[in-house]
Amino acid sequence: MSSTSTAVATSTHEAAEPVVWLNGELTPLSEARVPVLDRGFIFGDGIYEVVPVYVLEAGDAGDQREQVRVPFRIAQHLARLARSLDKVGIANPFDEAGWRALIARVIEANEAAGALARNAHANVYVQVTRGVAKRGHAFPAGITPTVFVMVNPLVMPGDAQRAAGVACVTAEDRRWLNCDIKATSLLGNVLMAQNAVEHGVFETIQLRDGWVTEASSSNVWIVKDGVLYAPPRSSKILEGIRYGLIEELAQDCGLRFEAREIDEAALRSADELLVSSATKEILPVVTLDGAAVGNGKTGPVYAALYEAYQRAKAREAREVLQALHTTRATLQEVEK
């Protein structure tokens, strides 16, 4: 589906109110309430995850093609959610199957309510906080986590933006040193996103002591002499789900990839500069702090990785359709 068709579907359903899941109940967003002593509200004491869910066509050659909803890389997203919850000592309220079923249920509820078009890509937001307790910094005993899930239409960069590329600026990374935890306490990232807005650019790329970490809500990649580089996995960056995916895509494209520390000089002399996230997929950066990146145009490595990304989405769509066919066949056998 093109970004244009997604935008049309989104605008058609703007008036319908989203339905959210909060602590075991589906409720209209305007009626969802969290106690003021929830530790997510008081301390930012919680974990979140964002899963893109695409509507894609799939089918074998000669077969009628079907549209299917594809929660892209959902196993990896849920594994990261589990890791982050474990690192901060919050009990995971569901196993993987439970989360998958809950996400599907919230999507279906929003489709039924008219808040999400059946042909629109979706953006699923999951949040788990430690729960409600009298204010105190240490973990309180015996409280139940607050679980919140919402779904919105997924708005992705359009074709024109991809063709032109985006502009970024740099700033010093002043965040805490547990950036590998996908915590709801995102003030450092919020400040960097606002920094980008105030400079009239797309993103802020951060450096810590002269070394590239990540952008306000993206992983960062550079290309030099045909080799793809990214900062190594560490507590200084969030390991984006696209990090592992783009490693795979590089191999698929025959590109050499190296995880290594990237200093400011290497960043500024890159032939290509890329950012990636669940909502951006992968996007080319053509200017940095007002100076051209490489020749100031989108490059061949970006083009190859973007096409490989679309192939990866198509593969997952085929897998979803195959699973759906298996389920249908099983139900038919049961009904005989």
Question: Active-site residue among 87, 182, 236, 280?
Answer: 182
- Is residue 182 part of the annotated active site? The answer reads yes
Rounded to whole angstroms, how far apart are CA atoms 276 and 284?
9
Report d(CA 290, CA 201) in Å as an integer.
10
Sign, CA dihedral 154-204-285-182, equals: negative
Euclidean distance between CA atoms 50 and 279, whole angstroms: 9
* 82: number of Cβ within 10 Å: 17
Q: Measure the CA angle with vertex 270, ends 193 and 273; round to 5°.
A: 40
Pairing of strands 166-172, 281-288: parallel
DSSP annotation of 132: B
Instruction: State whether the Cα torsion 185-188-192-197 is positive or negative.
Output: positive
Other CB atoms within a 10 A radius of the CB of residue 309 amount to 19
- Residue 204 — φ and ψ, nearest 5°? -110, 120
d(Cα 32, Cα 22) in Å, to the nearest integer? 7
> Is 316 within 8 Å of 72 (Cβ atoms)?
yes
Query: And the tokens for 70?
Result: 């594809």
- What is the C-alpha to C-alpha distance for residues 84 and 80, in angstroms, rounded to an integer? 6
Q: Which residues are catalytic?
A: 182
